[in-house]
């Protein structure tokens, strides 16, 4: 199915660039054609890997399997470092952590950055947990260590085991910025800190075969990449996370996704062409088709 979608999008791009089949005038530049030789080195957040694969597949006219060798994402924080150090050409990523801004200033680096999708930071618990909704204040209490038992938030008399991501993860940055604010996160035991995004979902589902655990991830990763069996997403402040509530920004924890390139690139530089395409109607169609929440209302599935 996705291969047919990729082929259809490729055809749509070629048709639009060919100006309805008429040969270009002598003073009109030829449409830009991506090849393996000029394709930008992509990097970014773990949750963006499927989109990176789809972009390469569509613009190169290859299957995802054929294009997979071009996609090597190194997570949010490191991807920004690699862009600034010249090891990547374009990022699709969550927000940069605070420390990255300091490194950017030290390097004298400047970037061009735009929001191309929105996501939500969502909270997961075991499906057997009777709690279906938490408030922002309750989440802050849980992750600051003030609330330690599910009975304090309407659940069973069971200790709360709050899993966190590692400090390099984009969802950890989102947790600090969107949920905690000035409230310090509790120092989690090492066994409660998860490395990869999928690992966190798995440990919340399987922790001690009980409903004690809670964790967080981005909506796309939990919903569209296949949430682990036996989990459910919590409503926050009475709002259930969904593509509709996230796009409308009714859900309280909105996490923007960015496309980033070095500043000052020429208009015909491959990274700049791809940057502009991802923000166009065609690019936004692909974003939506891949299950991300596009920023354009017209970014629905083609």
137 with 147, same domain: the answer is yes
**How many Å apart are CA 255 and CA 171, to the nearest integer?**
9
pLDDT tens sequence across 217-275: 888 777 755 555 678 899 999 999 988 898 889 999 998 899 999 999 999 999 999 99
pLDDT in tens, 23-45: 555 555 678 999 999 999 999 98
Number of structural domains the chain divides into:
2
Strands 111-126 and 293-294: antiparallel
Check whether residue 90 and residue 128 sit in a common domain.
no
- Would you say residue 222 lies in a domain? yes
Q: Are residues 158 and 234 in the same domain?
A: yes
CATH number of the domain residue 233 falls in: 3.40.190.10
Longest C-alpha distance within the chain, in Å?
76
- Tell me the per-residue pLDDT of 99-145, one tens digit each, with 9 for 90 and over: 899 999 999 999 999 999 988 999 999 888 999 999 999 999 999 99
Residue 301 lies inside a defined structural domain of this protein: no
Are residues 156 and 240 located together in one domain of the fold? yes
DSSP tag of 149? B
Do residue 132 and residue 55 come from a single domain?
A: no
The model's pLDDT over 166-197, given as tens digits with 9 standing for 90+, comes to 776 777 888 998 999 999 988 876 666 765 55
Structural Rg of the chain based on CA atoms: 21
**42 plus 15 within the same structural domain:** yes
Give the domain range for residue 283.
2-118+255-294
Strands 254-262 and 213-218: unpaired
Collect all residues with Cβ–Cβ distance below 8 Å to 268 and sequence separation of at least 6.
29, 32
Find the distance separating the first CA and the last CA of the chain, reported in whole Å: 13
Task: Tell whether 95 and 13 lie within a shared domain.
Answer: yes
């Amino acid at each position: 199915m996705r291969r047919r979608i990729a082929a259809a999008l490729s055809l749509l791009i070629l048709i639009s660039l060919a100006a309805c089949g008429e040969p270009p005038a002598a003073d009109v530049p030829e449409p830009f054609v991506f090849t393996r030789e000029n394709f930008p080195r992509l990097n970014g957040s773990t949750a963006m890997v499927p989109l990176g694969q789809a972009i390469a597949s569509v613009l190169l006219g290859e299957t995802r399997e054929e294009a997979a060798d071009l996609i090597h994402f190194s997570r949010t924080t490191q991807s920004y470092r690699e862009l600034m150090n010249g090891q990547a050409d374009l990022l699709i990523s969550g927000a940069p952590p605070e420390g990255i801004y300091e490194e950017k200033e030290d390097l004298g680096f400047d970037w061009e950055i735009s929001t191309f999708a929105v996501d939500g930071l969502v909270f997961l618990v075991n499906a057997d947990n009777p709690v279906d909704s938490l408030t922002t204040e309750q989440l802050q209490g849980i992750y600051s260590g003030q609330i330690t038992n599910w009975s304090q938030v309407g659940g069973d008399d069971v200790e709360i085991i709050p899993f966190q991501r590692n400090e390099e993860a984009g969802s950890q940055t989102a947790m600090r910025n969107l949920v905690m604010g000035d409230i310090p996160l509790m120092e989690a035991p090492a066994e409660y800190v998860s490395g990869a995004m999928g690992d966190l979902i798995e440990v919340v589902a399987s922790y001690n075969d009980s409903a004690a655990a809670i964790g967080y991830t981005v909506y796309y990763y939990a919903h569209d990449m296949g949430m682990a069996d036996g989990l459910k997403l919590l409503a926050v402040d009475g709002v259930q996370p969904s593509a509709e509530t996230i796009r409308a920004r009714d859900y309280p924890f909105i996490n923007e996704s960015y496309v980033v390139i070095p500043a000052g690139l020429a208009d015909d530089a491959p990274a700049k062409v791809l940057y502009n395409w991802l923000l166009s109607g065609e690019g936004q169609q692909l974003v939506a088709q891949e299950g991300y929440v596009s920023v354009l209302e017209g970014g629905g599935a083609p």
